[in-house]
Amino acid sequence: MAKTSPASDQADKLRKIVRSLREKSGSIMDRAVQKSINRARLIAVTSGKGGVGKTSITVNLAIQLCRSGHRVVIIDGDLGLANVEVILGMVPRYSMYDLLNSKLDLSDVLIEGPAGIKFISGGTGIVELANLGRQEFDRILCSMAALDNYADFILVDTGAGISSGVTGFLLAAREVILVTTPEPTSITDAYAVLKVISQNNANCSVRLILNMVEGPREAEDVLGRLNTAAERFLGTGIKSLGYLVRDPAVGRATKMQTPFMVAFPNCAAARGIGRIAGRILDNTEYHMESEGVKDFLTRIYRSLITP
Ligand SMILES: Nc1ncnc2c1ncn2[C@@H]1O[C@H](COP(=O)(O)OP(=O)(O)O)[C@@H](O)[C@H]1O
Ligand SMILES: [Mg+2]
């Protein structure tokens, strides 16, 4: 009868330990890969003119998407006054600027908002990207890429118009929501934004939200006017995501520094947000791929360093 020596017992034990370690590290690797596979769907919310409701729409849409079971992060890219923090009534300690200029981590600058949304205050972070060397940019990219693990949706509230900070987002985005009111100057400025996107970012899907309209008829009318100009001069139409009526509850909620989806969840504007979120989630209507943060930021960087 063959007897196992203490030495071969020892070797057996070692082999078992190594095997189990390999299996464990394999599953850790699998999980890491799985995590990095998650890619957020990035949507830039923009407008030609300021004060048309971009920030209100971004914040409330984020809340609705969250309520439908999705994880949402807002990047506040608007350097104006009426920005995300004002609507949420929160004062963030850090902004993306700190991510670029100090050793802070993404989790330090990511703030928890109402109804489960998270947001990052942009500060002057985006414009700063242009001043970074390749190595620094790669460091930021690595920490920002972790956003894909926090979010199914990333909504970027851009500033209005076509300044350099805004176009960075618009030329990098694959999906843009363009907000306009029925006011003629707002429509003209929305058309100007559409023109910049269609001439410089052909792969981008732009959809319109008509805000502060009287009702569906006025929304149709504004959409029709923009479409006629876009088809004639840009050779492309524009689709609508829906409309929000002018609703006094929005102003009331703004004064309370509480999103209207929270303060007045049944108001007319909230119902409009519900319809719009439904369309965004309806991938049979429009198939949108989630491409993740990394590609998006890399394109922003490229557009900033090669104007
Ligand atoms: N559907 C709406 N009905 C009534 N007021 C609105 C509506 N949408 C936005 N507002 C108001 O318009 C103002 C500008 O909105 P805001 O979201 O800050 O615009 P932007 O981000 O485009 O500058 C705010 O006072 C807001 O309360
Ligand atoms: Mg705003």
Q: Smallest Cα–Cα separation from 45: which of 105, 92, 87, 89?
A: 87
Specify whether the CB–CB gap between 260 and 253 falls below 8 A. yes
At 214, the pLDDT band (50, 70, 90 cuts) reads very high
Query: Ligand 1 atom 17: the closest Cα is on which residue?
Result: 53
Separation CA 47–CA 86 (nearest Å): 19
- Surrounding ion ligand 2 within 5 Å at CB are 54-55, 78, 82
Number of neighbouring beta carbons within 10 Å of residue 115: 16
- Domain ranges (residues) in the chain: 41-305
How do residues 223-261 score in pLDDT, each as one tens digit?
999 999 999 999 988 999 999 999 999 999 999 999 999
| Residue 111, strand partner residues | 119
Report the share of the chain in percent with pLDDT over 70.
78
Is there a contact between 249 and 273 (Cβ–Cβ < 8 Å)? no
* Secondary structure class of 110 (helix, strand, coil): coil
Given this structure, which CATH class describes domain 41-305? alpha beta
Tell me the CB-side half-sphere exposure of residue 22, using CA atoms within 13 A: 6
Q: Give pLDDT, residue 197.
A: 92
CA dihedral 69, 160, 77, 197 (to 10 degrees): 80
CB 231 within 8 A of CB 195: no
Please state, in angstroms and as integers, the Cα–Cα distance from residue 13 to each residue in 1, 5, 19, 20, 25, following that order: 21, 13, 10, 11, 18
State how far the Cα of 184 lies from the Cα of 259, in Å rounded to an integer: 27
Q: Ligand 1: which residue has its CA nearest to atom 10?
A: 53
Per-residue tokens: 64: 């609705």
Helix axes 134-145, 293-305, angle to 10 degrees: 150
Distance from C-alpha of 226 to C-alpha of 110, rounded to nearest angstrom: 37
Instruction: Measure the CA–CA gap between 100 and 129, rounded to whole angstroms.
Output: 8
Distance between Cα 17 and ligand 2 center (Å):
58
Q: Which of 134, 139, 73 is nearest to 104 (CA)?
A: 139
Q: Which ligand lies nearest to the CA atom of residue 211 in the structure? A: 1
For all residues of the chain together, what is the average pLDDT? Answer: 82
Q: Please, which pLDDT band fits residue 83 given cuts at 50, 70 and 90?
A: confident
- 55, 58, 88, 250: which to mutate for ligand 1, most atoms within 8 A of CB? 250
Is 307's pLDDT higher than 70?
no
Is the predicted pLDDT of residue 118 greater than 50, yes or no?
Answer: yes
CB of 191 closer than 8 Å to CB of 226:
yes
Nearby residues of 99 by Cβ (< 8 Å), 6 or more positions away? 105, 106, 108, 109, 125, 140, 143, 144
- Both structure tokens of 91: 């004062």
Protein residue closest via CA to atom 23 of ligand 1: 51
- CA gap 229, 188 in Å, rounded: 10
Q: Which ligand is nearest to the CA of 122?
A: 2
Q: What is the mean pLDDT of the segment spanning 57-73?
A: 96
Check residue 258 and give its pLDDT.
Answer: 94
For 176-213, what is each residue's pLDDT tens digit? Answer: 999 999 999 999 999 999 999 999 888 899 999 999 99
